[in-house]
Structure 1
Amino acid sequence: MVHPSSGFRGTRAGVVAGSGSSLQSNDLSPGSLPRIRVSYWCAKGHETQPVFLKMPEEQIPRIWDCRRCGAPASRDGQAVADDPFEDGYKSHLEYVKERRSGQDAEDVLAGALEKLRARGVLPDQLLGDT
C-alpha cells in the first residue's frame, strides 16, 4: 500500500527556459541553481535519491516516501517506524469517532432510520430492529 500522504514532495527549482525539466545534480548550465541529491533508505533496503535545492541541513526532510514500495524511508538508513501511518494520518472514520461517542452514533442512526420510515422507504419493522 502506498503511503497516504505520498505524492509530489520536494523542491523543483532551477529549471531554465530551454534547458528542459532536467533536475540532474551535475547540470551546470549558467542559469541553474545549485542542487544536491539526498539518499533515503526504507526498511526493505530500497534507496531513493530525490534532488533538492542546496539548502541548510535542517530544511532537508528527515523522512521521504520510498519510490518503489511507498514505505517511509530515512536518511540514516535505519528502519523508520513499523507503522507507515504513524505520521498522524487518520481515516475519515477515525476522525468521526473522535467527535462522536457510541451513543451519538446510535442516535444519528435511529434518526436516519426514522426519516426513511416516514418517507415510506423502509418498513416499520426490520430484522434485528426493535
Structure 2
Amino acid sequence: MAERTLRGARLGGQSFEDERGIEFAARQQVGYRCPRGHEFEITMSTEAEIPAVWECPKCGDEAESTAGIEREVKVEKPVRTHWDMLLERRSEKELEDILKERLELLRGGEIGPAHLHRANAKKRKVS
C-alpha cells in the first residue's frame, strides 16, 4: 500500500525552479484615487493600455487615475420612440387617413374582435 502513495508538492506550494536567468517583463506602477480618498497603485506591463478607471480594493467605488488619464466619452444616440420611427415612414396626413379608414371598418363590423361582430349582427337583425 505504501508503494502506491502519490508523492508531490501540495497545491499552492513552493516552486522548485530557480529564478536565475529569467528576465521579467518591464512593469510600471499606476496610481488611482477613489472618491472616498483611498489611494492605491496597480502594477501593469509597460506595454499595457492603462485604464482611466479601476475598482477601489477597499470600498469598491470607481477610482480615477492619478496620472491624468481621462475617460472616453461615448456619444449617445438620442432615444427614438415608436412615434419617431412611424413618422420616418409616413406623414401625419397619411396616418390620419389610415386611422379614419380603419375606424370606419371597425364600426362597420368588417374588422375587429369577433364578439363585437356578433353583438352588432344581433342588433341589425332586431332593427
Q: Given the two structures, how large is their TM-score scaled by the length of structure 2?
A: 0.35
Q: Which has the higher helix share?
A: 2
Of structures 1 and 2, the larger Rg is shown by 2
- Comparing both chains, which one has the higher relative contact order based on Cα–Cα distances under 8 Å and sequence gaps of 6 or more? 1
